[in-house]
A and B are shown apart, each in its own frame.
With several copies, the nearest count.
Chain A
Amino acid sequence: MTSAETIRKLVDEFASIPDWEDRYAHIIALGRALPAYPEEYRKDKYKVSGCQSQVWLYAGGKGRGDQDTQGTVDGEANGHKDVVSEVIHFEADSDAAIVKGLIAILMKIYNDRTPQEILGVPPDFIQKLGLDQHLTVNRTNGLASMMKQIHLYAIAYGRIDEERKRARELKSQ
Chain B
Amino acid sequence: MNTSNVDAGFAPVAVADNALYVSALRNEFPILNQRVHGNVPLVYLDNAATTQRPIPVINATTDYLLHSHSNVHRGGHALAMEATRLFELTRSRIQAFLNAPLPEEIIYTRGTTESVNLVASAWGDDNVKSGDEVIVSEMDHHAVIVPMQMLCQRKGATLRVLPVLDNGTLDLDALPDLINNRTKLIAVNHVSNALGTINDVKSICALARPRGITTLIDGAQAVAHLKVDVQDIDCDFYVFSAHKLYGPTGVGALYGRAEIMSSMSPYQGGGSMIASVSFEGTTYNDLPYRFEAGTQNIEGAVGLGAALEWFGGLDHSAVAKHEQSLLRRATEGLSAIKGLRIIGNAPNKIGIISFVVDGIHASDIGVLCDEQGVALRVGHHCTMPLMKRFGVGSTARASAGVYTTHSEIDALVTSVGKAVRMLS
Q: Do A and B come from one complex?
A: yes
Count the B residues whose beta carbon is within 8 Å of the partner chain — how many? 26
Could you say which residues of chain A place their CB within 8 Å of the CB of B1?
19-20
- B275→A53 contact, CB < 8 A: no
- A138: B residues at CB distance < 8 A: 73, 81, 84-85, 88
Decide if B361 touches A137 in the complex (CB within 8 Å). Answer: no
| C-alpha gap A96/B76 in the complex (Å) | 13
CB–CB B378/A28 < 8 A: no
Chain A: CB-nearest residue to B359:
A97
User: In the bound complex, how far is the Cα of B88 from the Cα of A25, in angstroms?
Assistant: 32
- In the complex, whether A59 has a CB less than 8 A from a CB of chain B is no
Cβ of A72 < 8 Å from any Cβ of B? Answer: no
Q: B371, A28: Cβ atoms under 8 Å?
A: no
The answer on a CB contact under 8 Å between A52 and B360 is: no
A 26-65 contacts with B by CB, 8 A:
28, 49-50, 52-54
* Interface assignment of B318: CB less than 8 Å from any CB of chain A: no
Q: Are B364 and A133 in contact (CB under 8 A)?
A: no
Q: Which residue of A lies closest to B423 (CB)?
A: A97
Among B88, B368, B379, contact of A137 (Cβ-Cβ < 8 Å):
B88
Q: Which residues of A contact B2 (CB under 8 A)?
A: 19-21
Chain A residues numbered 109-140 whose CB sits less than 8 Å from any CB in chain B: 133-134, 136-140
Cβ of A52 and Cβ of B422 under 8 Å apart?
A: no
Q: Does A24 contact B (CB under 8 A)?
A: yes
Cβ A98 vs Cβ B367 within 8 A: yes
Closest B residue by C-beta to A25: B422
With beta carbons under 8 angstroms apart, the residue of B85, B275, B286, B368 that contacts A24 is B368
Between B81, B363, B378, the greatest number of chain A beta carbons within 10 A of the residue's beta carbon is seen for B363
* B74 close to A140 (CB less than 8 A): yes
B95 interfacial contact with A, CB 8 Å: no
From A20, A50, A96, A140, contact of B364 by CB (8 A): A96
- Please, which residues of chain B bring their CB within 8 A of the CB of A140? 73-74, 76
Q: Is A104 in contact with chain B by the CB < 8 A criterion?
A: no
Residue of chain B at shortest CB distance from A132: B81
Whether B394 is near chain A, meaning CB under 8 Å from some CB there, is: yes
User: Does A53 lie within 8 Å of B363, measured CB to CB?
Assistant: yes
Interface string of B57-100 (1 = CB under 8 A from A): 00000000000000001101010010011001000000000000
- Nearest residue (CB) in A for B419 is A24
The answer to whether A52 and B81 touch across the interface, beta carbons within 8 angstroms, is: no
CB distance B364 to A52 under 8 Å? no
Closest to A133 in B: B81
Residues 138-172 of A, flagged 1 when their CB comes within 8 A of B and 0 if not, give 11110000000000000000000000000000000
CB neighbours of B84 from chain A (8 A):
138
Docked-complex contact B364 and A97, CB < 8 angstroms = yes
Flag whether A95 is at the interface (Cβ < 8 A).
yes
The smallest beta-carbon distance between B173 and chain A, in angstroms, is 35
Q: Are B275 and A52 in contact (CB under 8 A)?
A: no
Q: Name the distance in Å between B85's Cβ and chain A's nearest Cβ.
A: 5
Q: Which single member of A21, A54, A136 contacts B422 (CB below 8 Å)?
A: A21
A-contacting residues, B355-379, CB 8 Å: 360-361, 363-364, 367-368, 371, 378-379
Assuming the A-B contacts A52-B76, A97-B423, are A136 and B81 also in contact, with contact meaning beta carbons closer than 8 angstroms in the complex?
yes
Chain B residue contacts of A50, Cβ below 8 A: 286
Query: How long is the Cα–Cα vector from A89 to B272 in the complex, in angstroms?
Result: 33
- A87 contacts chain B at the CB level, 8 A cutoff: no
Residues of chain A with a CB closer than 8 A to B74's CB: 52, 140
Bound-complex Cα distance A118 to B361 (A): 30
Least CB distance from B325 to A in Å reads 31
Tell me if A7 counts as interface (CB < 8 A to partner B).
Answer: no
> CB-nearest residue of chain B relative to A51?
B363
Asked whether, in the complex, the Cβ of B275 is within 8 Å of the Cβ of A141, the reply is: no
Chain B positions within 8 Å of A99 at CB level: 361, 363-364
Q: How far is the CB of A22 from chain B (nearest CB, A)?
A: 10
Is the CB–CB distance between B364 and A98 below 8 Å?
yes
Give the docked Cα–Cα distance between A52 and B81 (Å). Answer: 14
Q: Report Cα–Cα, A20/B88, bound state, in Å.
A: 28
Q: How far is the CA of A139 from the CA of B361 in the complex (A)?
A: 16
Given contacts A52-B378, A136-B81, contact A24 B363 (CB under 8 A): no
Asked if residues A52 and B394 are in contact (CB atoms below 8 Å), the reply is yes
If A20-B1, A52-B378, A98-B367 are given as contacts, then 14 extra A-B residue pairs at C-beta distance below 8 Å, sorted by A number, are: A20-B371, A21-B2, A21-B418, A24-B367, A24-B368, A28-B423, A52-B76, A54-B393, A96-B361, A98-B368, A99-B361, A99-B363, A139-B76, A140-B73
Residue pairs across A and B with Cβ atoms less than 8 A apart, 20 shown, are: A20-B1, A20-B2, A28-B422, A49-B286, A50-B286, A52-B76, A52-B394, A95-B361, A97-B360, A97-B364, A98-B367, A134-B367, A136-B81, A137-B88, A138-B73, A138-B88, A139-B81, A140-B73, A140-B76, A141-B76
